[in-house]
Amino acid sequence: MDPEAALGLVKQGVTLLLLDVPQYTLLGIDTQMFSVGPAFKGIKMIPPGPHFIYYSSSSRGNEFSPIVGFFIDANPSEVIVHRWDQQEERLVKVSEDEEERYSQAVKSLEFDRQLGPYTLSQYGDWMRLSNYITKSIIERLEPIGGEITVACESEVVGSIPKTSTEKALADQLRSSKFSKSVEKPQRRGCYYTSIPRVIKNKGISGQELTSLNLDKTKLLESILMKDYGLSEDLILGELQFAFVAFLMGQSLQAFLQWKSLASLFLGCTEAPLHTRSQLFTKFIKVIYYQLKYGFQKEQKDTGCAGKGVSALLDESWLSADSFLYHLCKDFFSLVLEAPVVDGDLLTWTRKLKELLEDTLGWNFEQQSLEDAMYCEEDDEFAPVVEILETDKDLAA
């Protein structure tokens, strides 16, 4: 890069000053992860806006603690300063007075040689994963203190649904690698929106209840009004927040929220074709870029850093028995076979279908009757159908 252009990016970009981080610590920002060297003091040339910082400490370079992550939303030329707390083995924000002093030193380029540059060639990937995440969404969803870590989610593990992906994540938590951290005093996780799995309403008939659970449109509308003030971008922002916290931060709670939101959208039949076509086009684009990035076998510029971070989109996602396969199959049939459908929604639905077929080898063509009747025994997102229990009911 031209030295003058680089200097401009240094001055206009965000600087993340990270002091006293132990050598060999795995440290990431957005889609980039590095292994900390002896001279490391932080990252420069970061584009303004939302970012996800995450790290995993290591005493010897081969045993890693659970990942801890937090979101920031930075202004142009801002300097954000954290220091490593050796006793607690985590990054903590410095006082305002300290931050002001360090900020002046950074702007005088005193730390410039010890700051690694943000890899701008990967910024496009991050933008596609976070374009709906805003400062207000971060403040609304983040835990008290801001730290997102699987080590504070033991309660989630106890009540985890028993699908193959979630079993793998639960086993990860119970491994010796995590055991010491899980014993620490528990803190509350993120403040995600509650997404009911099943609609329960005593004031309506069984047939109406079945209809509401087979088509999640009314549930989606209710949640949009009650929790998001009818803002479509807010629910998409939470979907992206959860995916980033899950994929980069390895948060089990985030995975469950992502699954709940994805299942809510993919369980709608009326909304995508009639009332919320634009929202569903945006949703499919979000999911498309999430899965496209998540299924990449090898990330660029990670070097040896990836050895301490397991890939969470593993074999359990690749199975045709997964919840994602069944939900996508039904949704694709709905959109691709509709007599009238929004053009953009049709285009992006085809792109998502091709991505899953090409990347995973999934087949969404019409299956046999036996396969069509298949339903995972442990799939808590399967449609709820009202069963008529008596002969009298059946005769009626």
- How many Å apart are CA 31 and CA 126, to the nearest integer? 6
Residue 378 lies in a domain: no
Asked whether residue 262 is assigned to any structural domain, the reply reads yes
How far is Cα 118 from Cα 32, in angstroms, rounded to an integer?
8
| Count of H-run helices and E-run strands, the chain | 18, 10
* CA 66 vs CA 34, 93, 147, 370: distances in Å: 16, 20, 12, 43
Residue 316 lies in a domain: yes
Q: What is the pLDDT along the chain (396 residues), one digit of tens a residue?
A: 667 766 677 778 899 999 999 998 999 999 999 889 999 999 999 999 999 999 988 765 567 788 999 999 999 989 999 999 988 888 999 999 999 999 999 989 899 899 999 998 899 999 999 999 999 999 999 998 889 988 777 666 555 555 665 666 566 555 534 434 444 445 578 999 999 876 555 555 454 544 555 789 999 999 999 999 989 999 999 999 999 999 999 888 999 999 999 999 999 999 999 999 999 999 999 999 999 998 875 444 444 444 334 445 655 556 666 788 889 999 999 999 999 999 999 999 999 999 999 888 888 876 544 444 444 444 454 444 443 344 444 334
- Sheet with strand 26-29: strands edge to edge: 32-35, 26-29, 49-56, 68-74, 148-149
Entry field: residues in the chain: 396
Torsion from C-alpha of 228, 233, 239, 242, nearest 10 degrees: -80
Are 259 and 279 in a shared domain?
yes
pTM: 0.83
CA distance 184 to 164: 27
Phi, psi of 34 (to 5 degrees): -135, 160
Please check whether residues 114 and 157 belong to one and the same domain. Answer: no
Asked, for residue 104, whether it belongs to a domain, the answer is yes
Nearest one of 290, 229, 226 to 258, comparing CA atoms: 290
Judgement on whether residues 300 and 245 belong to the same structural domain of the protein: yes
- Judge if 110 and 177 occupy the same domain: no
Taking the C-alpha atoms of residue 179 and residue 196, their distance in angstroms, rounded to an integer, is: 31
**Cβ neighbourhood burial of 36 (10 Å; 0-12, 13-18, 19+):** buried
Does residue 386 sit within a domain?
Answer: no
For residue 389, tell me if it sits in a domain: no
352 with 333, same domain: the answer is: yes
The total of structural domains in the chain comes to 2
| Helical spans, DSSP H, in the chain | 3-12, 96-107, 123-130, 135-141, 154-158, 164-174, 176-182, 206-214, 217-228, 232-247, 252-266, 270, 277-294, 315-318, 323-336, 343-360, 369-372, 391-395
User: Has residue 35 been placed in a domain?
Assistant: yes
CATH of the domain at 311: 1.25.40.550
Pairing of strands 26-29, 79-85: unpaired
Q: Are residues 284 and 327 in the same domain?
A: yes
Domain of residue 213 covers 152-372
35 and 171 both lie in a single domain: no
pLDDT computed for residue 350 by the predictor = 95
Clarify whether residues 133 and 200 are in a common domain: no
Residues 297, 254 share a domain:
yes
Does any domain span residue 2?
no
Q: Tokens 């329960």 sit at which residue?
A: 200
**163 and 294 assigned to the same domain:** yes
Residues 227 and 348 in one domain: yes
pLDDT score for 167: 65
Question: Which of 119, 141, 163 is where one domain is finished?
Answer: 141
- On whether both 216 and 121 belong to a single domain, the answer is no
Other C-beta atoms within 10 Å of 378: how many?
Answer: 14
CATH number at residue 77: 2.60.34.20
